[in-house]
Structure 1
Amino acid sequence: MTRAFSQPPRVNAGLFFLRLTGCLLLLYVHGLPKVFHFSEELTRIEDPFGLGPWMSLLPAIFAEVICPLFILTGVFARLACLPIIGVLLVAMLAVHPGWSIAEGQFGWLLLIIFTTLALTGPGQWRLGAVAPAEVPHGAG
């Protein structure tokens, strides 16, 4: 019965590659610059809901730094995708609604990556994963 629910190695490799590359891109391009240049980011961040720069920047840092670390490890990966998806939707639909697909392609691609991971989960190549039990040949 265990074999019926296990994924082929290439699927696990693909999900790991998607997690790794998506998270590293999000961290490098968006997350880490917000942390390393926090004061400057407070003066530049858009505030689409009028909550102030701190309440706009802190959720973005959570979604773009903390959540990718969970996804990279595969721990609470589906749950960690939700704040990222939320921040990306706000960015694409509320902050930059006038952008063409070409102008917002990076954001849309990140949205595709993290929505896919939210739907599929992290795969079996993750911290704390238990290898599927071997089923003897001919059984099952």
Structure 2
Amino acid sequence: MTRFSPTDAALLFLRVSASVLVLLVHGLPKALHYSQELNAIDDPLHMGKTLTFWFALFAEVACPLLMIAGIATRLAALPILVVTAIALGFVHREWTLFEAQFAWMLLILFGTVAIGGAGRYRIAMRPRAPSRGQA
């Protein structure tokens, strides 16, 4: 039995709450309104709207789900950081700090998760060691 860890509980709260926020505010609207969102998305790196959209969808739906479960957490934080940095640096360069505060907060939240990882409270995805008598 493991003892309660305030640090691990804080990492759990941080990654789950931040992920739910991105999923609800950005990911689900993109997934539910695919055509509208595809037409509205900017293509700042000139990769094509479809590829840009699918990367954003991956970052804002798949990655938050992985992070909620605590699977590949540090790796899953990276696409969210990339999408947010591109939004700030290329798409919304005119935003003031006041207008960009949500994006900056996402960078802080997911940057912290990228550094701190999932913590102990997560779904284990490691293969089990064979029990005695099995090879």
Match of 2:109 in 1: 113
Root mean square deviation of aligned Cα: 1.8
How far the C-alpha of 1:8 sits from its partner, in A, is 6.2
1:84 paired to 2:80:
yes
CA contact (8 A) 2:71 2:125 kept: no
Q: CA deviation at 1:113?
A: 0.4
TM-score normalised by L of structure 1: 0.84
- 1:19-69: per-residue Cα shift (whole Å, max 9, x none)? 111000000000010000000011100111222210110000000000011
Which segments of 5 or more consecutive residues in structure 1 lack a partner in the other structure?
1-5, 131-140
CA distance in 2, matches of 1:58, 1:65: 10
* 2:112 matches 1:124: no
| Structure 2 unaligned residues grouped into runs of 5+ | 127-135
Whole-angstrom CA distance in 2 between matches of 1:48 and 1:7: 48
Say which of 60, 63, 78 aligns to 2:59. Answer: 63
SS of equivalent residue, structure 1 residue 119:
helix
Residues 7, 23 of structure 1: alpha-carbon distance in 2 compared, 3 angstrom cutoff: farther
Residue deviations 1:74-126, cap 9 Å, x none?
11000111111111100111111110111011111011000000001010000
Shift of 1:129: 7.9
The letter for the 2-side match of 1:112 is I
> Percent of counterpart pairs with the same letter?
43
- Name the residue aligned to 2:131: none
Q: Which runs of 4+ in 1 moved over 2 A?
A: none
Contact 2:38 2:50 in 1 (8 A): yes
**Structure 1 equivalent of residue 95 of structure 2:** 99
Residue of structure 2 equivalent to 1:50: 46
Task: Tell me how far apart the structure 2 counterparts of residues 85 and 94 of structure 1 sit (CA, whole Å).
Answer: 14
Aligned residues: 125
